Amino acid sequence: MVFELHPVSLRVNGVEKTLDIEARVSLLDVLRDHLHLTGTKKGCNQGACGACTVLVDGERINSCLALAMQYEGREIRTIEGLANGELHPLQQAFIEHDGFQCGYCTPGQICSAVGMLFEFGAGAPSAVTKEGGKLELTDAELRERMSGNLCRCGAYVGIREAILQAQEVMAR
């Protein structure tokens, strides 16, 4: 069986790439297999683990459930596009606080945390946010907002500390 190829133009980490892909290809597979950006990881491939988290127009999504065709014209950012001469504050903080053991979930954790801090900064509520109160990144808020990223090594303590440090650094 021959699958039809479609031309698609994707903007990844600030660079425009034109590719011919099958309509059924996920954004995750395009990133890894076509653009060789293997930082983004395939964990469950069904939206349950968060290892494939990337940013689209600044918002975090699961790239495994995203058909690449749908993301034409959007600004896609992966773990490879976060550092700007020096490491992103979240990357630096994950190193300093041992926010990982095996490291497989780390690119997803970091991209997710970038998106989370963006949402938090914009005042987006979570399931544990009390209406009318001042929005603070308490432990309960942080856990709830990062619940879409699993870490089978259980490095959550380090991940939490890394995110709190990065939040402070980024606020300076």
**Positions that interact with another protein (CB under 8 A):** 1, 3-4, 6, 22-24, 26, 45-47, 50, 53, 59-62, 65-67, 69-70, 112, 115-116, 119, 123-127, 129, 131, 143-145, 147-149
What is the SS3 assignment for 164? helix
- Rounded to whole angstroms, the Cα distance separating 31 from 2 reads 22
In single-letter form, the type of residue at position 65 comes to L
Q: What's the closest the beta carbon of residue 85 comes to another protein, in angstroms?
A: 28
143 or 152, CB closer to another protein? 143
3-state SS of 126-155?
A: CCCCCCCCCCCCCHHHHHHHCCCCCCCCCC
Handedness of CA 70, 64, 17, 111 (dihedral sign): positive
Token representation of residue 172:
């300076």
Q: What's the closest the beta carbon of residue 47 comes to another protein, in angstroms?
A: 6
Q: What's the closest the beta carbon of residue 74 comes to another protein, in angstroms?
A: 11
98 or 147, CB closer to another protein? 147
85 or 123, CB closer to another protein? 123
Cβ pair 90, 162 in contact under 8 A: yes
Q: What's the closest the beta carbon of residue 75 comes to another protein, in angstroms?
A: 14
Q: What's the closest the beta carbon of residue 86 comes to another protein, in angstroms?
A: 27
65 or 95, CB closer to another protein? 65
Q: Around Cβ 123, how many Cβ atoms within 10 Å? A: 8
Largest Cα–Cα distance in the chain?
A: 58
85 or 132, CB closer to another protein? 132
